[in-house]
Amino acid sequence: MKFKSVIFIFLWSYAASAQHKDLVSYVNTLQGTNSRHELTRGNTYPTTALPFGMHTWTPQTGKNGDGWKYQYQKDHIRGFQQAHQCSSWTRDYAVFSFMPMTDRLTLNENDREAEFSHADEIAKPNYYKVKFKNNITTEISPSERGAHLRFSYPKGRKSFLVLDGYTGMSGIRIYPKENKITGYVHNGEGFKEGFRNYFIAVFDHPFKSYGTWENKVNTVQANATAAEGEGKGAYVEFAAGSKVQVKVASSYISEEQAALNLINELGQDHTLEDTKAKAAGVWNKSLGKIVVEGGSEEDKATFYSCFFRASLFSRKYYEIDKDGKPYYFSPYDAKIHPGYMFTDTGFWDTFRAQFPLNTLIHPEMHGRYMNALLEAYQQCGWLPSWSFPSEAGSMIGNHAISLLADAWAKGIHTFDPDLALKAYLHEATHKGPWGPANGRDGWKEYYQLGYVPYPQFREATAKTMEYAYDDFCGYNLAKMTGRDFYADIFKRQMYNYKNVYDPSTRFMRGKDGAGNWKPNFDPAEWGGPFTEGNAWHWQWSVLQDIHGLISLMGGNQNFTAKLDSVFSEPNRVNVGSYGGMIHEMTEMVMANMGQYAHGNQPIQHMAYLYTYAEQPWKTQYHTREIMSKLYNATENGYPGDEDQGQTSSWYVLSAMGFYSVTPGTDQYVLGSPMFKKITLNLENGKKFVIDAPANNKENVYIQSATLNGEPFTHNYLTHGNFLKGGVLKLEMSASPALTRGLAPADQPFSLSGKE
């Protein structure tokens, strides 16, 4: 009996360990896909990819060129795409698709679509599968620059596959004797001359028939082996009832490199199961960098689904040559360069949490990225702000400097700080040609007046606040690296947020060039001097100087009362300059948390600010409330746009019990973890454990803490705390600890000292 008990315990431990490692099984890539123009629940598509992979794959429910690539409410699929899209609000690029069909060749995308049910769909990072109502099954497993697909046709039925060249120019060449198709596509916006996505597709079944076609009026050239022009594609027919595998890879460099990518990444995979297993191993290793225990299965699914989404952007934009060295076709100058490049992200969203998460979890990759930022500057004359894959200049601010300062503060010194500061000074004293965040909109007025005037410049108050934060990052990078010349320049502007604070209303407001406040002030009015929000949301965007903001607002009591009011105010919307409800407004109303609008970035750090004003227990309460109420692992999983990993990264960091309120420093502000135990398996081989054994839905408050056995009263952790490894032990309770962590030394970083 004793022997049987030992065997049982061993088997139970082994099974628990195996389950522990199969973290990819928790991920639902359909999270956030139930989105539309009027209301987004994430604005995602079911991405089949490896971490930060150059290409991803997805089913396509929307028409070619439609930003709404996949919508959960649709019940027909018209293709399986190679995709790179960051958001439905931005067009995709370098796209082509496959679509299987039976009985007869149907090319028109509206006619060829096939009905499906979500009950017949599997959506995991390493494996997507769907069975249509017509009994065709499609399966996809990814590599970094390609994918392994399988199309299973019903027995006895004619079996066709269409390759759609999407929008824009494309070229196709069919090799019937080699069961191969090669070609290129050129679609998307803002590309330099010479940009192409070269692809190769190798099939394991012979072609019974084949030809080319074009998707403008759907004309067909039977038996043709080559075509070039707008929307050119190919079709092939296999023996009736075939089960066909195809390996696909792409390159931005050349057709030869595409073939090399296929050999390097898929050459040893005899079946799709091989690729699927390899991809699962890659994902389990990546997701295993954070192991959570002790929460519900639902909470784990939410955590790992968010961690998956946080591990997609920015994408690798480099390839590996025949000698094993990285190189890339630059989207900035259209030349081939050695080294690493990354793209597909908007820093306005992602500087806040997605990149700080990468500094902690993926420091080697992050170091390469920082150097790539400066290579981009040297290639096009500007630091990136919204790359897709070249520079668009969307949104506001100059947040590349936030990434650079944050990396340096956390010991990632892979780049030249002189070049970084030179690039930022250029950014801050010029306006670029591509958009408001390419260079600095209103930079002269910002220097002369100390703020950006409204209505002379759109979103002027928001720009003032973000410029001041960016100038702090420039100042801090200069101070950390001993560049006093730059420090003296940037320190003059990093308090400029004070110039748009109106003490009579106790809100940030729009101000014209003569110093007059915008009339008819309503803090619930969206737009105007603000970006995708209102005065309630932008009040808190003083990331570098929370204690200065507290002082400006009249002290801790006034400050925390205003924070409380964000949650207690009616969720009223004044549409303002937008002229009608936009989805961010609808999402705030639906969340029913007052004026708190977590679906957009400017307010996402707000719940952590209680900690700066001697009420850290309210941070603990509200962050847990936000996580529990606004996130889940379903198709309705987000409270708004997911935005290239940012909203997911907020959850990942917050669920671990901390958040990066001030990127550009080495600190993370404590909140309240979602799990009883969290283990960070760091790249340097160290482990950092957050141990909260009494944690549950009621016990959200930290009563006391120890770090490596020593009493710990700080309300922040440093990056160095993590890198050294150790154990943060948290005693959790259902009652707040009203006196813990109130000493000045326990307060997180702020430019202004605590008064």
Count of positions (residues) in the chain? 755
User: What's the pLDDT at 273?
Assistant: 98
Q: Taking a C-beta distance cutoff of 8 angstroms, is the pair 394, 346 a contact? A: yes
For residue 90, what pLDDT is reported? 82
- Which 3 state secondary structure label does DSSP give 10? helix
pLDDT of residue 20: 54
Find the radius of gyration of the CA atoms of the chain: 26
- pLDDT at position 17 is 40
**DSSP bridge partners of 76:** 115
Residues ≥6 apart with Cβ < 8 Å to 354: 310, 313, 345, 644, 645, 646, 648, 649
Phi, psi of 277, deg, nearest 5: -70, -40
Q: What angle do CA 203, 204, 206 make, to 5 degrees?
A: 80
Please return the burial class of 727, using the count of CB atoms within 10 Å of its CB with bins 0-12, 13-18 and 19+.
middle
Q: Distance between CA atoms of 668 and 619, rounded to whole angstroms? A: 13
97 vs 61, 63, 80, 163, 234, CA distance in Å? Answer: 12, 12, 5, 6, 10
Q: What are phi and psi of 285, to 5 degrees?
A: -65, -45
Residue 738 burial by CB count (10 A; 0-12/13-18/19+): exposed, middle or buried? Answer: exposed
User: Cα-Cα-Cα-Cα dihedral of 419, 424, 427, 429, to 10°?
Assistant: -110
**C-alpha–C-alpha distance, residues 715 and 668, integer Å:** 9
Sign of the four-CA dihedral 57, 63, 67, 72: negative
Model pLDDT, residue 192: 79
pLDDT for the residue 194:
87
Quick check: 179 and 206 in contact, CB under 8 A? yes
Rounded distance, CA 214 to CA 199, Å? 18
For the chain, residues with pLDDT lower than 70 are 1-20, 754-755
Q: How many helices (H) and strands (E) does the chain have?
A: 20, 35
Token pair listed for 453: 């005037």
- Tens-place pLDDT, residues 215-250: 999 999 999 999 999 999 999 999 999 999 999 999
Torsion over CA: 674, 679, 683, 684 (sign) = positive
Domain 290-746 has what CATH class?
A: mainly alpha
All structural domains of the chain with their residue ranges: 23-288, 290-746
The residue ranges of DSSP E strands in 207-242, in sequence order, are 209-214, 220-222, 226-230, 232-238
Secondary structure E strands in 373-524: 386-387, 501-502, 507-508
The answer to pTM > 0.75 is: yes
Q: Which helix (H) or strand (E) element contains residue 559?
A: helix 556-568
Q: What is d(CA 516, CA 502) in angstroms, rounded to the nearest whole number? A: 11
Domain 23-288 has CATH 1.10.3210.10: no
What is the full DSSP assignment across 340-362? Answer: --EE-EEHHHHTTTHHHHHHHH-
Q: What's the token pair of residue 600?
A: 């957009």
CA distance 513 to 68: 41
CB burial of residue 67 (10 Å; 0-12, 13-18, 19+): middle
